[in-house]
Amino acid sequence: MKIFIVLFVILLTLLCIGTLFAESYFWVDSQIAPKWCSFYVFGGFLIFLYELVLYKYGNCTTLFAFCIRVFFFIVVICCSIQAIYGLGQYFGVWISNMPNFVTGSFDNPVGFAFCLTSALPIFLYFLINSKNWVRIIVLLSICTVVFAIVVSGSRTAILALFVYVLFLYFYFRKRFKISFITFAFFIFLIIVISFIMYCSNEDSVNGRFLIWKCSIEMIKDKPLLGWGTGGFQKVYMYYQADYFRYNTDDYYSYLADNVKHPFNEFLLIIIEYGLLGLLLVLFFFFILIYCGLQKRRKVNSFIFVLILLSIIVFSCFSYPFMYPFIWILLIVCAFQLLDLELLKNIICKRRIFFVLFIVLFCFYGLWVTGAIAAELKWCHISKRSLLGETESVLPYYQRLGERLSENPFFLYSYAVELNSSMRYSESIKVLKECESFYNDYDVKMLQARNYEKVGDLLQAENYYQLASRMCPNRFLPLYYLVHLYQSQGEEKKAKKIAKKIVEKRVKINSYIIDTIKNEMKKYIE
């Protein structure tokens, strides 16, 4: 049994460190992909070890309770380090992944704030169950984490803190005799901070209103069963383009951008799986929270309820499930709150289930190994292409296409390489495959350039216009349209678009935009 305990501790440590800190430039997505790799590898071995212990020793409740406490301890240590890392970026000690923002070891401040805020209830476990100097250390760690959350600038994280305070007040007001004045002070403080943060980035909030508007139109068209897995990335930008077809001078045209997520997990579920999918998810969360509140007398059950509430809050305004650490917390909550004794007994007493699990685990291992190898190879050949070896890496792209044929980002990357090698017809073909999974401004712009190069000017015009409607604040689609019309001798159309470019409001100043505007001014004159 001791060897299993040691293995559990090692795997839990690697899982937490990997999903919170893993970064590698051997991956195309150097920030998030390594974290998911850690999740699949170490998480897979943990599940295998769990099944092995169940089969060998039966229902080892004491062992798993110990593992949960170890997991809590590891999370507290890792999140404290993550918070210190983020604060170091804030004070200029370390370089952030995004200039002028606190990101920790994540790709943006959102992931940093998500993971710290969702893990914060675990700190309360040690605050309540520890004594003397340990409690003081935990309290200092909580203050550090909260400070890191605030400086991250995440409004959703601040809202989650508000929910924590609200829940804890009503949960413990009789036990600890918390005064209403103290509670009201914390609420007032959080409201003031939230208002200041909203005013500091009002455009970001209003931009989400546009996304939700267009998302609701998608739901209206397929309300019951939705658009299917990946339906949002495949279809959404068409709806945004359609919105700006009829609202050309709308305020939102200045805010519109490429969109990969509706900034609401529940909205995403309705879009992709319909109202039936949403009902199932809401029922799942309801059961978990209900079980947590029913186990009120069970020590620390409220910790898991708090974690679930934070995940729900984040899900209403952002994309927490993009990060594997959030999935780990959700799985732990489900494991602790649901009564799985019957399932455990069936698994540990039937050899057939163990044999079936071993077979499935072997297939899982092959799938993970193949996926990791393909991703690493993709990163390697993309770097070679940047060094000027585009022609020599195209055969590798073609072979990888068999493995990554359903990865839209790989297909787009492949199409870009083909375009760079002047293989425009092949690039068009690969982009059409990409369009069956993913559509955005960049895809349409590349397709427009391809069609222009092969001489299909009508298709090129259509794609430039579509790209312009998808992101009305962009200048390049209109700029290329001017040159397209000039090449066809349609000076009237060209000057009309040129005038529009000159008058267009600039979202982010750049040398390229200044050059385009100056060129169009000279052309009109």
Domain 375-524: assigned CATH number = 1.25.40.10
Task: Supply 81's token pair.
Answer: 């380090």
Burial category of 193 from C-beta neighbours within 10 Å (exposed 0-12, middle 13-18, buried 19 and up): middle
pLDDT of residue 525: 74
Lowest mean pLDDT among 35-39, 171-175, 182-186, 516-520: 171-175
What residue ranges do the domains of the chain occupy?
2-200+264-349, 375-524
pLDDT at site 345: 59
What value does the mean pLDDT take over residues 66-88? 93
d(CA 251, CA 47): 50
**Mean pLDDT, residues 455-480:** 93
The answer to whether the beta carbons of residues 303 and 75 sit under 8 Å apart is: no
Dihedral over Cα of 276, 277, 278, 284: its sign: positive
Dist CA 513 CA 504 (whole Å)? 10
Place of tokens 């495959």: 433
Contact 72, 13 (CB under 8 A): no
**Where does residue 147 rank: exposed (0-12), middle (13-18), buried (19+ CB within 10 A)?**
middle
Q: Which are the contacts of 386, defined by CB distance < 8 A and separation ≥ 6?
A: none
Q: Which of 19-23, 115-119, 167-171 has the lowest mean pLDDT?
A: 167-171
Query: What local confidence, expressed as pLDDT, does residue 171 receive?
Result: 67
Nearest Cα to Cα of residue 76 among 128, 20, 8, 138: 138
Nearest-angstrom CA–CA distance, 197 and 184: 20
Taking the C-alpha atoms of residue 69 and residue 308, their distance in angstroms, rounded to an integer, is 18
Q: Which amino acid is at 419?
A: N
Tell me what pLDDT residue 53 has.
Answer: 82
Range 314-323 average pLDDT: 92
278 contacts: CB under 8 Å, gap ≥ 6:
266, 269, 270
Contact 507, 257 (CB under 8 A): no
Alpha helices, DSSP H, located in 436-475: 441-454, 457-470
320-329 tens-digit pLDDT: 999 999 999 9
Question: 9-18, pLDDT tens digit by residue?
Answer: 999 999 999 9
Chain mean pLDDT for the chain? 87
Pull the structure tokens for residue 441. Answer: 């401004």
Q: Is the pLDDT score of 255 beyond 90?
A: no
Q: Say how many CA atoms lie within 13 Å of 468 toward its Cβ.
A: 22
pLDDT in tens, 194-218: 666 666 666 677 788 889 999 999 9
SS3 384: helix
Look at residues 13, 483, 469, 20 and name the one whose alpha carbon lies nearest to residue 256: 469
Q: Give residue 505's identity as a one-letter amino acid code.
A: R
Identity of the highest mean pLDDT range in 28-32, 173-177, 264-268, 497-501: 264-268
Chain position carrying tokens 């675990």: 122
Q: Which pLDDT score, from 0 to 100, does residue 341 have?
A: 57
Query: What does the pLDDT look like over 337-382, one tens digit per residue?
Result: 886 655 565 565 567 777 888 898 999 999 999 999 999 999 999 9
Residue with tokens 């009305």: 472
Question: Where do the H-state alpha helices sit in 201-300?
Answer: 202-221, 231-246, 265-294
Token reading at 416: 């870009």
Lowest mean pLDDT among 52-56, 182-186, 391-395: 182-186
pLDDT at 297 over 60: no
pLDDT band of residue 256 (cuts 50, 70, 90) is confident
- Contacts of residue 218, defined as CB under 8 A and 6 or more positions apart, other chains included, come to 227, 231, 232, 235, 236, 239, 271
* Confidence (pLDDT) at 79: 95
Find out whether 319 and 114 touch, Cβ atoms under 8 Å. Answer: no
* Residue 21 confidence (pLDDT) above 90: yes
Side-chain-side CA neighbours of residue 4 (13 Å): 18
Q: What is the per-residue pLDDT across 139-158, written as a single tens digit (0 to 9) for each? A: 999 999 999 998 988 888 88
pLDDT category of residue 173 using cuts at 50, 70 and 90: low
Structure tokens that stand for 151 in this block: 């400086």
Distance CA 447, CA 460 (A): 7
Q: What is the pLDDT of residue 348?
A: 59
- The alpha-carbon radius of gyration of the chain (Å, integer) is 26
Report whether 175 contacts 163 (CB < 8 A): no
pLDDT value, residue 194: 64
Hey, how many other C-beta atoms are within 10 angstroms of the C-beta on 502? Answer: 14
d(Cα 176, Cα 161) in Å, to the nearest integer?
20
Least confident interval from 100-104, 258-262, 344-348:
344-348
Over the stretch 424-460, which tens digit does the pLDDT of each residue have? 999 999 999 999 999 999 999 999 999 999 999 999 9
Please compute the mean of the pLDDT values over residues 163-168 and round it to a whole number. 78
Confidence bin at 507 (pLDDT 50/70/90): confident
Cα–Cα distance, 201 to 222 (Å, whole number): 33
The burial of 383, by beta-carbon neighbours within 10 Å (0-12 exposed, 13-18 middle, 19 or more buried), is given as middle
Could you say which DSSP state residue 27 is in?
Answer: S
d(CA 308, CA 336): 12
Decide: residue 237, CB within 10 A, 0-12 exposed, 13-18 middle, 19+ buried.
buried
Residue % of the chain over a pLDDT of 90: 53
Question: ∠190-328-100 over CA atoms, to 5°?
Answer: 50
pTM above 0.85, yes or no: yes
How distant is the alpha carbon of residue 169 from its chain centre?
A: 31
DSSP string, 63-109: HHHHHHHHHHHHHHHHHHHHHHHHHHHHTTSS--SSTTS--TTSSSH
The pLDDT of residue 247: 82
